[in-house]
Structure 1
Amino acid sequence: MAIRRTLLFLFSFVALLASATGLVAQPSTNAAPPIREIPIDGPIGPATSAFVARGLEQAAAANTPLIILRLDTPGGLDGAMRDMIKAILASPVPVVGYVSPGGARAASAGTYILYASHIAAMAPATNLGAATPVSIGGGGSAPADTQPEPADASNTDGDNKGGQPSDDATAKRRKAVNDAVAYIRSLAERRGRNADWAEQAVREGTSLSAQAALDANVIDLIAANTTQLLDRLDGQNVETAAGMQQLNVAGARVEQRAPGWQTELLSVITNPTVAYLLFMIGIYGLILEGLNPGTGVPGVVGAISLLCALFAFQVLPVNYAGLALIALGAGLMVAEMFAPSFGILGLGGVAAFVFGSIMLMDTDVPGFDIPFGLIGGIAVASALLLFGILYMFLRSRRERIHTGHAGLIGSRCVALTDFEREGRVLLHGESWLAVSHTPVVRDEPLVVTAAEGLKVFVRPAGPADTTIATGNAPARGPIPRR
């Protein structure tokens, strides 16, 4: 009886402990998912756009209550910016565009993203604006860059004989600016923000500080840090693609999402400087493999680098005329190696290479240009390589020929037998039929004067012939006798 009571007590205790454990664990399973914070640092390109769009999709799938886009950017490419804005407008989760503390900025493309966000916030000592698109130079789409349009239109794109911009350049710029104005006004009207200042930021390139932006109804609030931002957002109603939502985010946990290795790799490859270097490595690698077939390493490295560069050029605003000039320059330098023109083809190749490199990037967006120092360095290296090839070519023309019949003339040989006119001589370790106009005795040193087929013409060697054979390797060991 006592044993039964003891077992009953133990079972009751275990059941009570399991119930208590379930009650304690229940709140953790029902805890709200954390807030996602996605950083946007530096120039906005295809890699940043893909990273943000993927982050918004993952946050929506995880039922995240809020997404914070932490902005610090000088601008970026128009296509990448529009892809990000499309993802923000379609997001069922409220998105807060927050210009992060520490003197960050949301210039150019960042201003558009801030206007597209459900809530626009800035930290003190930050700024936004300068949203004028830079005029396009080679037919690509206008990037949302940070450079303001000059007040005097005579200094913009293209000049005619009278010093005024051409009609095509003026029309092209007008189209780009009007399109940007209409786009940012539509974003401002959708979010109920100051559309007039947005247009001014595009047409005149003006900027605002955080407090001035708040006073002008450009942003919704100012917060010194993320905790203060969440406290001020708590309880607000936000209209999203999924309908009206009320924010309950005070004291919520914030989870930062850093770019993965795929995004980092894509960012590195699509960096114009890196893409340019990969392109040059690819070209020179294939050239070296062509000049030295079978080596393998230059060809493999060159092929991989060239494919990576072409992938980067596919998503970057590339001027294909510049790309063609670079390829032409490389071709001319290769032609100089096979058809020496005393530097004419090579110098033309270097010039085409330099002009093509300057024209390669069809945009002036900060962070998407190729440094002139890099272009100059590669141009100097190519010129030095060219002059080195020319030097070796000229030196080879002055050197004594070592192959064929011409290489035998002046060589030393030794008679293997006595003969009056024809006999055998030892020449370069081989027995040759020799013809002499004077009698020859065995072991007599001779000099080759001509060669015809498998026959050589010889004469006795004199004191002045001791330097004739300096270009030939001396015989090793005693001369064999027959």
Structure 2
Amino acid sequence: MSSPGRLRLPLALLALGVAGVVAASDPPATESSEGLVYSVTLNDALHPVTARYLKEAIQKANEARARLLILKLDTPGGLVSSVEEMVKDITSSRVPIVVFVNGSKAASGGFFLTVAADVAVMAPGTRIGAAHPILIPTIPTGGEIPKDSPIMDKVENDLAAYARSLASNRGRNEKIAEQIVRKSSSFTEREALKLRLIDYVCHDENEILSILDGRTIRRFDGTTETLHLSKVRIVSLDMSTRDRVLSVLADPTLAIFLLFGGIIGLYVEFTHPGLIAPGVIGAICLLLFALSSQILPMNWVGVGLVVTGIVLFLMELKVPSYGTLTAGGVACLVLGALMLFKSEPGMPALGAARWTILSIAGSAAVIMASLTTLVVRASRHKPTTGSAGLQGERGTALTDLDPEGRVFVHGEYWNARAARPIKQGAKVRVIRVDDLVLDVEESP
């Protein structure tokens, strides 16, 4: 009867020990415990690579149950498709997101990201706006599509409605948001704050955290959330090496150079087998261009024109056309480069600079004109080697030629024959070359 009493005390002590271990391994979440604030820097054009970078950062913040995610933004804009994807990720995030315009501007597509954020902040000396859509014509017409075009009206109305919707759901100024799209208006940080486009003007992330600590914000779905940011640790989520490389390849100017370099490298390798280096470099350039074409909205008709232009340049070296092939190559090169990227309704920033295109085409034209001139001059020179180089040469008869004998011509001994007898020591002139026998005549 006494054994249960003796076991009661050890069992109680064991239970207390287990409870202590559990409590130590899983402390209760309190407002005083340290939280995470993720920081993301985006200072590039808005395209699929930057969109994926932001999506992965938001996913990581959601998985870590971060208190906040701060997107430091400095962008000239980008593709509408990428902007819409990024806005969707921002508005559906479980973690509140602050867009901090830090650097110079949030232009075009950057305006939509800012107005879609839970909290919109700008640093002193920055600007926001200029979100009017731009359509790059598929065939160069010397300018943009007219503003009164039905296509432009559709795009403008769609983006204006998009801006109003985002501003309305975030409690921001719908009228000014629409004006930024329709009139391409831009505002400084103080003007944007006064017009209720943004919520605060701050110098850095720490100031943002101190201002937002204890504030209650309204989420995109209408719910409210109080931010506790007094004891947090800021963690920077840098872009991966893969995404940094892909972001560099998303430069349209670089894409054009990769295409040019790849075709010329392979041409040199095919015409000079064994050099290896040009072929390897050309293949790498074309592979990088293929990767770039998966990021940028490529127009393959433009690619075909660029390739045709380069082929015409190379043909000029083989078949001199006195500038005809060069002129065709320049025309194809310029037209193809101008329409190399598809016309996507929306934002500027993704397009090859015209000065780059004209510089490349002009340089190619000058080089081909110089090479064509050298080829033409060389074709007019009298041959100095081979059978053609011996015709008309003068020499000396080493033996009597009646009709055959030996002569000394061009520093060499030759078998020769003559239609009329020629005495030994007489001067002779080569009429033609027949295999290894020279037909000669006596030279006065």
CA distance in 1, matches of 2:144, 2:310: 33
Structure 2 residue aligned with 1:332: 312
Task: Single out whichever of 123-132 and 318-327 deviates more from structure 2.
Answer: 318-327
Q: Which sections of structure 2, spanning at least 5 residues, go unmatched?
A: 1-19
1:203 and 2:182 correspond = yes
Deviation at 1:435, TM superposition (A): 0.9
Q: CA RMSD in A?
A: 3.6
CA distance in 2, matches of 1:286, 1:366: 34
CA distance 1:156–1:278, shift in 2 (3 Å): closer
1:315-464 alignment, distance < 5 Å: 315-361=295-341, 362=343, 365-402=347-384, 404-411=386-393, 420-425=402-407, 432-436=414-418, 437-441=420-424, 446-459=428-441
Structure 2 residue aligned with 1:267: 247
Higher RCO (Cα < 8 Å, 6 or more apart): 2
Q: What's the TM-score once normalised by structure 1's chain length? A: 0.74
- 1:425-477 per-residue CA deviation (whole Å, 9 max, x = no partner) reads 56678775421332454x87754322224432234567xxxxxxxxxxxxxxx
- 1:270-314 per-residue CA deviation (whole Å, 9 max, x = no partner) reads 111211222222233233334434433223222321332243234
Structure 2 residue aligned with 1:277: 257
Structure 2 residue aligned with 1:68: 70
SS in 1 for 2:383: coil
1:24-423 alignment, distance < 5 Å: 32-100=34-102, 104-138=104-138, 157-158=145-146, 170-238=149-217, 239=219, 245-361=225-341, 362=343, 365-402=347-384, 404-411=386-393, 420-423=402-405
Question: Is the 1:91–1:240 Cα contact (8 Å) retained in structure 2?
Answer: no
Deviation at 1:396, TM superposition (A): 2.0
- 1:79-127 per-residue CA deviation (whole Å, 9 max, x = no partner) reads 2212211222232221111122x6x322221111012212222234433
CA distance in 2, matches of 1:228, 1:275: 41
Deviation at 1:47, TM superposition (A): 2.7
Question: Is the 1:35–1:254 Cα contact (8 Å) retained in structure 2?
Answer: yes
CA distance 1:457–1:211, shift in 2 (3 Å): closer
CA distance 1:130–1:384, shift in 2 (3 Å): closer
- 1:407-438 per-residue CA deviation (whole Å, 9 max, x = no partner) reads 33234666676653223556678775421332
Q: Which sections of structure 1, spanning at least 5 residues, go unmatched?
A: 1-18, 140-154, 159-164, 463-482
What amino acid is aligned across from residue 120 of structure 1 in structure 2?
A: A
Deviation at 1:230, TM superposition (A): 0.7
Percent of aligned positions that are identical: 34
Deviation at 1:60, TM superposition (A): 2.4
CA distance 1:426–1:245, shift in 2 (3 Å): farther
Question: Is the 1:425–1:434 Cα contact (8 Å) retained in structure 2?
Answer: yes
CA distance 1:183–1:53, shift in 2 (3 Å): same
CA distance in 1, matches of 2:50, 2:401: 88
Question: Is the 1:74–1:108 Cα contact (8 Å) retained in structure 2?
Answer: yes
- 1:247-282 per-residue CA deviation (whole Å, 9 max, x = no partner) reads 211242222233232222222211112112222222
CA distance 1:289–1:206, shift in 2 (3 Å): same
